[in-house]
Chains A and B, each alone.
Chain A
Amino acid sequence: MNFMSKKSFRYINSSAPKIDALAKARGNAKYTDDLEFDRMLYGKLLRSTLAHGRIKKIDVSKARALRGVRAILTGTDLPIRYGILPVSQDELALALGKVRYIGEPVAAVAATSEETAFEALKLIRVEYEPIDPVLSIKDALKSVQSVHDEGNLHKAVSLEFGQTQSTGADYSREDLFYYEGNTHLALEEHSAVALWQKGRLTLHSSSQTPFLLRKILAKALEIPETSVRVKVAAVGGGFGGKLDPFAHEICAAKIAMITGRPVKFTLTREEVFYCHRGRHPAVMWIKTDWKKDGRLLDMHFKAALDGGAYGSFGVVCVYYQGALQPVTYKIPHYRFESARYFTNKPPCGPKRGHGTPQPRFALEVHLDKVAEELGQDPVALRLKNLMTPDSVTVNQLKVTSCGLNACIEKVAEVSGFRRKHGRLPPGKGVGFALGSYLCGAAVPIYWNDEPHTTVRITAGRKSGLTVYCGATDIGQGCDMVVASVVAEILGISIHRLRLVMADTDTTPPDLGSYSSRVTLMAGNAAKDAAEKFKSQVLAIAGKKETSFERTLQSALRKKNRIESSGSYKPPAKLGRFKGSGVGPSPAYSFSACVAEVTCDVETGEVGVSKITFAHDIGRAINRLAVEGQIEGGIAMALGEAFFEEQVYDERGLHRKPSILDYKIPTMEDMPELEIFLVETGDPAGPFGAKEVGQGPLLPVIPAIANAIYDAVGVRIDETPFTPEKILLALERKAMARAPRVGPDKFPDIVFPEPFAVRPVSAVQASC
């Protein structure tokens, strides 16, 4: 199965600490807010205190008169609409005419001190004319009010794949689930510093997508893209929350252009909750048909997403609700309907797992229920319908390597799942679930034919060896990935390399840190660049010395400067239907999880005692970093499972926009973890590597839900699994009612007629 023998590696597949680890541990790393410039102004945003309303008047005169205030912007100063997706150009840096959520920026102030900027905000008077807010999908369907002129339905899709099975089903089941909205909670709050020098803008920002940000800044500010430089300092976590362009970035740039002075905006924690772009709250319905031996015949999945006030990545998220179910299981006939609605709340967007944790939760809990009713072991049921390597899914995704089988066997064996399931003492239980994720979207956000990423390597007599790469390290470790790959190919120490990363002026373009694309794509580009560099060096030197270092020195004596460039472009997608751009990837990662829990039936508290986890990483470029990503994914999953709620009151006001009240697990809440890496060596990945940034979150949440059922016999069909919900379900059980907490109705959505996708031809599928 191994694509390349492990023993041949020197730098990759090791557990060396990340190259930036020491600086970060010592507090030496410079984040955006650490940047200081002479004569720098401090910016603050005034945010709407109303969820839905017309702006009648904004009076900034008093604020303008305050000593130290240098600039004030309102919506009229930045009238160009923008958005991360070409199809959703619906945002403005500052509200114009109307506000659509509490926390939406209405005005921006810059002053000589942060305190003055803060004071100035208090002096701005905004008069609103309130409009009834649209705060739920129910409101969105019924309300006479529209969040946007075009109505409250943002996007609805209905797709059908495969052939209805001729042999009838023996059994079918349907279930309803709800997944609560939640946010990223990266430790570093968003921050941006803008400089305007000689007609060029430089924006330092804690962004996951400097190259996309450059494009959007140019549009919103009406300046050429060549006049914009975006640089990314150290980033304290992104998780999808720093993908979209944000008001503070555009306002910082605009004020720098007006005043000629550097301008810094650093958001407060509360403001980050309003920026949001996190997990969509989703109501889901799933129905499956089965043969009694456990063969899956048919799946029908529906999702309704509460999108918040703007588009963001919403359209993509609508498709992701249905895209990856067929990647883990073979589904002969698959129908999927999904819709997103606008509501007067901070916009939802991409968060770790981007639109797939919700359906994964629904699917894996549903399968647990099916297994029980069919009298089958939950592992066995999945094995019967499991994805196999080198397959094309029913929704026309090409699966290359697939280590699901090995992942399942590992976690089932180590955790003792088969021995424990259904047999532990009351209050204790085990749960099982699978997951899968893409290793980079095969289709770029803005369609073009260019490579998705390029890496450049240069060497000079006195300038050392430098690697230029546009990929953005947001803490996930892509600097280490790129450096490890180059070091491996060249056969020199990682510490010999100088890295220049994520700077639109000096590094070649990279699409950004999203869709788990960086290891595979930047890794491949780095490999390509390093291989070209190596052969050039050899060719110039004329002969191989005892080490590459010596060969390079001898080559540099003959030629002043040696340079190479490598790039990566994913293979073309198979599907040709509308929506086929969401889901295709050069490869897919797979994971299996067993959760072991203890429930206290008096308090309703659930303690996770152990998580056994196996992840098909293809090849670990760095084992320590991969394990760290898995641990982080599990921690985030525990937060979504037990605590996290991005919820609002009847005015649309966020109930707990604070890092203390919006709970995520602490180190004390972490269970024992046993993690296994399955290395399948994918042909598409650099040295066979696949993703690990997002996938590991997915199976943890349903595994916990299934474990709770095994422990106390109640189904919590909605996140988070709070003690109150568990007590409620236990009460229902005691009263012989359905032992369940979850939604009881899918919203009354009329989906479009399903579009029946024609199967791909055998020729297409094999290419």
Chain B
Amino acid sequence: MPRLQYYRAKSLQEAARMLADGGCQAAILGGGTDLVPRMKRRQENFKALIDVGAIRQLSQIRRAKNKLYLGAGLKLSFLAQSSELSQFAAFKQAAGLVATPAIRNQATLGGNLCIPTRCVYFDRSDQWRESLGFCLRHKGLACRAAPGSAVCLAPMSSDLAPVLVALGAQVQLVSRDGERAARLEEFYKNDGKDHLQKSAGEILAWVAVESGVFTDSVYLKLSRRHSFEFPSLGVAVALSRRKGTIDAAKIVLGSIAPYPVVARESQDILIGGKLSDELIAKAAGAAARQATPVANADLSPSYRRKMIGVLLKKALHEIRQAGS
């Protein structure tokens, strides 16, 4: 592990100030479950870490009107079990599917939403990448997975992002100069190298979700194992049904692009209809057209693509079954 300086911020304002002073040499330390191994692999070169673990308000849930404000420092194991979140079933599911129990006890909500994209050609040692030839994310000129691509296509690796985008979440960002809110859907962009719409001085402080918008939500994760996995694909569905008729639908695909991909065509198919076998098949069929995964993650791109429809179908069947 390279040498570094460690600061423990007492307040959000202090953390924001430290971050601003540190420039791009400093990073926020939440649970550290992803950041620290990355630093050990020398994928990140931060000289200073600002621990926000002591800032009380970041590990609290606040309720204001019909919104829940979740502190970015909340641990994933807490989220997976919290009774306050029972109306956001998919969110709880997703939190419980991240990595391992030990990691979930340490990893945070904010950390999972800001987790860097992952790529089988990038998340390797220097010696490995030198053997291959460096990629455009670092030192190199071409993307190893898609040589024609001008941008890094590394897929996002968050389980929570697709779910929270589906649930219409907002994020609250704090910097030395102030505070701003953004829709989570707009917090991500299509560049694996830099996939967050966030400046270096901003700290993701809260996530806000609105109650009563959706009646059903499901998250399904594709991975080889049942634990200790980043998603190879995540399918998040949130529906609002009145007497069986869908009046709002949000379908979001994770881990097939640097950002959470909204499956608009499938959403449009569902809205106004009922969850019949035909409608489910149609929506599922349309979803696979929404994304073109490339060979940069576990499981082949064609399989991952095929599974988009399969998982969406399973998710919708699950909702139908739970509702009946």
Q: Is the CB of A657 within 8 A of B227?
A: no
- In the complex, residue of chain B having the shortest beta-carbon distance to the beta carbon of A642: B224
Chain A residues within 8 Å of B128, by CB: 270, 653-654, 657
Q: CA separation between A643 and B314, bound complex, in Å? A: 24
Q: CA separation between A115 and B1, bound complex, in Å? A: 7
Q: CA separation between A151 and B130, bound complex, in Å? A: 29
Q: Is the CB of A661 within 8 A of B132?
A: no
Q: A665 interface residue, CB < 8 Å from B?
A: yes
- In the complex, residue of chain B having the shortest beta-carbon distance to the beta carbon of A659: B228
Q: Is the CB of B131 within 8 A of A666?
A: no
Restricting to B139-170, which residues have a CB under 8 Å from any CB of A?
Answer: none
Q: CA separation between A657 and B307, bound complex, in Å? A: 26
Q: A64 interface residue, CB < 8 Å from B?
A: no
**Contact of A663 (CB < 8 Å), options: B125, B132, B225, B313:** B225
Restricting to A650-707, which residues have a CB under 8 Å from any CB of B?
Answer: 651, 653-658, 660-661, 663, 665-669
**Contact of B124 (CB < 8 Å), options: A115, A122, A642, A658:** A658
B179-187, B265-273, B296-304: which lies at the A interface? B296-304
Q: B3 interface residue, CB < 8 Å from A?
A: yes
Q: A49 interface residue, CB < 8 Å from B?
A: yes
Q: CA separation between A661 and B3, bound complex, in Å? A: 27
Q: Is the CB of A270 within 8 A of B225?
A: no
How many whole Å from B47's CB to the nearest CB in chain A? 14
Q: Is the CB of B224 within 8 A of A643?
A: yes
Q: Is the CB of B123 within 8 A of A658?
A: yes
Q: Is the CB of A115 within 8 A of B3?
A: yes
Q: Is the CB of B228 within 8 A of A724?
A: no
Restricting to B114-131, which residues have a CB under 8 Å from any CB of A?
Answer: 120, 123-128, 130-131
Q: Is the CB of B120 within 8 A of A666?
A: no
How many whole Å from A654's CB to the nearest CB in chain B? 8
Q: Is the CB of B2 within 8 A of A115?
A: yes
Chain B residues within 8 Å of A665, by CB: 225
Chain B residues within 8 Å of A115, by CB: 2-3
How many whole Å from A74's CB to the nearest CB in chain B? 17
Q: A602 interface residue, CB < 8 Å from B?
A: yes
Chain B residues within 8 Å of A658, by CB: 123-124
Q: Is the CB of B228 within 8 A of A666?
A: yes
Q: CA separation between A136 and B71, bound complex, in Å? A: 53
Number of A residues with CB within 8 Å of any CB on chain B:
32
Given A270-B125, A669-B227: A651 in contact with B131 (beta carbons within 8 A): yes
Q: B60 interface residue, CB < 8 Å from A?
A: no
Chain B residues within 8 Å of A656, by CB: 120
- In the complex, residue of chain B having the shortest beta-carbon distance to the beta carbon of A119: B2
How many whole Å from A736's CB to the nearest CB in chain B? 21
How does the 8 Å CB contact mask read for A36-66 relative to B, with 1 for contact and 0 for none? 0000000000010110000000000000000
Chain A residues within 8 Å of B299, by CB: 723-724
Q: CA separation between A602 and B100, bound complex, in Å? A: 26
Q: CA separation between A50 and B133, bound complex, in Å? A: 11
Q: CA separation between A657 and B314, bound complex, in Å? A: 33
How many whole Å from B97's CB to the nearest CB in chain A? 11
Chain A residues within 8 Å of B130, by CB: 49
Q: B310 interface residue, CB < 8 Å from A?
A: yes
How many whole Å from B96's CB to the nearest CB in chain A? 12
Q: A268 interface residue, CB < 8 Å from B?
A: yes
Chain A residues within 8 Å of B2, by CB: 115
Q: A102 interface residue, CB < 8 Å from B?
A: yes
Given A49-B130, A651-B131: A724 in contact with B300 (beta carbons within 8 A): yes
Q: B10 interface residue, CB < 8 Å from A?
A: no
B-side interface size class:
20 to 34
Q: CA separation between A391 and B285, bound complex, in Å? A: 61
Q: Is the CB of A668 within 8 A of B120?
A: no
Q: A497 interface residue, CB < 8 Å from B?
A: no
Q: CA separation between A694 and B222, bound complex, in Å? A: 32
How many whole Å from B222's CB to the nearest CB in chain A? 8
Q: A603 interface residue, CB < 8 Å from B?
A: yes
**Contact of B225 (CB < 8 Å), options: A50, A643, A649:** A643
**Contact of A669 (CB < 8 Å), options: B123, B226, B306:** B226
Q: A727 interface residue, CB < 8 Å from B?
A: yes
How does the 8 Å CB contact mask read for A441-466 relative to B, with 1 for contact and 0 for none? 00000000000000000000000000
Chain B residues within 8 Å of A122, by CB: 126
Q: Is the CB of B224 within 8 A of A724?
A: no
How many whole Å from B311's CB to the nearest CB in chain A? 8
Q: CA separation between A747 and B159, bound complex, in Å? A: 44
Q: Is the CB of B131 within 8 A of A50?
A: yes
Chain B residues within 8 Å of A643, by CB: 224-225
Q: Is the CB of B127 within 8 A of A270?
A: yes
Q: Is the CB of A661 within 8 A of B228?
A: no
Q: Is the CB of B225 within 8 A of A666?
A: yes
How does the 8 Å CB contact mask read for A594-608 relative to B, with 1 for contact and 0 for none? 000000001110000
Q: CA separation between A47 and B126, bound complex, in Å? A: 11
How many whole Å from A183's CB to the nearest CB in chain B? 16
Of listed B126, B130, B224, residue having the most chain A CB within 10 A: B224
Chain B residues within 8 Å of A102, by CB: 131
Chain B residues within 8 Å of A49, by CB: 127, 130-131
Q: CA separation between A723 and B303, bound complex, in Å? A: 9
Q: CA separation between A723 and B3, bound complex, in Å? A: 43
Q: Is the CB of A666 within 8 A of B132?
A: no
- In the complex, residue of chain B having the shortest beta-carbon distance to the beta carbon of A607: B226
Q: Is the CB of B224 within 8 A of A663?
A: yes
- In the complex, residue of chain B having the shortest beta-carbon distance to the beta carbon of A728: B303
Restricting to B280-324, which residues have a CB under 8 Å from any CB of A?
Answer: 298-300, 303, 306-307, 310-311, 313-314
Restricting to A197-237, which residues have a CB under 8 Å from any CB of B?
Answer: none
Given A723-B303, A724-B300: A47 in contact with B227 (beta carbons within 8 A): no
**Contact of B298 (CB < 8 Å), options: A50, A651, A661, A666:** A661
Q: Is the CB of A268 within 8 A of B125?
A: yes
Restricting to B1-19, which residues have a CB under 8 Å from any CB of A?
Answer: 2-3
Q: Is the CB of A724 within 8 A of B303?
A: yes
**Contact of B120 (CB < 8 Å), options: A47, A655, A669:** A655
- In the complex, residue of chain B having the shortest beta-carbon distance to the beta carbon of A652: B131
Chain B residues within 8 Å of A50, by CB: 131
Chain A residues within 8 Å of B307, by CB: 603
Of listed B131, B226, B300, B314, residue having the most chain A CB within 10 A: B131
- In the complex, residue of chain B having the shortest beta-carbon distance to the beta carbon of A657: B128
How does the 8 Å CB contact mask read for A567-606 relative to B, with 1 for contact and 0 for none? 0000000000000000000000000000000000011100
Q: Is the CB of B120 within 8 A of A661?
A: yes
Q: CA separation between A642 and B131, bound complex, in Å? A: 28
Q: CA separation between A653 and B124, bound complex, in Å? A: 12
How many whole Å from A189's CB to the nearest CB in chain B? 13
How does the 8 Å CB contact mask read for A724-757 relative to B, with 1 for contact and 0 for none? 1001000000000000000000000000000000
Q: Is the CB of A666 within 8 A of B300?
A: no
Q: CA separation between A665 and B225, bound complex, in Å? A: 7
Q: CA separation between A657 and B123, bound complex, in Å? A: 10
Restricting to B225-276, which residues have a CB under 8 Å from any CB of A?
Answer: 225-228, 230
Chain B residues within 8 Å of A660, by CB: 228, 230
Q: CA separation between A657 and B124, bound complex, in Å? A: 8
How does the 8 Å CB contact mask read for A119-131 relative to B, with 1 for contact and 0 for none? 0001000000000
Given A268-B125, A724-B300: A669 in contact with B225 (beta carbons within 8 A): yes
Q: CA separation between A122 and B2, bound complex, in Å? A: 15
Q: CA separation between A268 and B132, bound complex, in Å? A: 19
Q: CA separation between A653 and B300, bound complex, in Å? A: 18
- In the complex, residue of chain B having the shortest beta-carbon distance to the beta carbon of A45: B127
Q: CA separation between A727 and B100, bound complex, in Å? A: 28
Chain A residues within 8 Å of B226, by CB: 666, 668-669
How many whole Å from B38's CB to the nearest CB in chain A? 12
Chain A residues within 8 Å of B310, by CB: 602-603
Q: CA separation between A47 and B127, bound complex, in Å? A: 8
A-B contact pairs, 16 of them (CB 8 A): A49-B130, A115-B2, A122-B126, A270-B128, A602-B310, A602-B313, A604-B303, A642-B224, A651-B132, A661-B123, A663-B224, A665-B225, A666-B225, A669-B226, A669-B227, A727-B306
Chain B contact residues, CB within 8 Å of chain A: 2-3, 100, 120, 123-128, 130-132, 222, 224-228, 230, 298-300, 303, 306-307, 310-311, 313-314
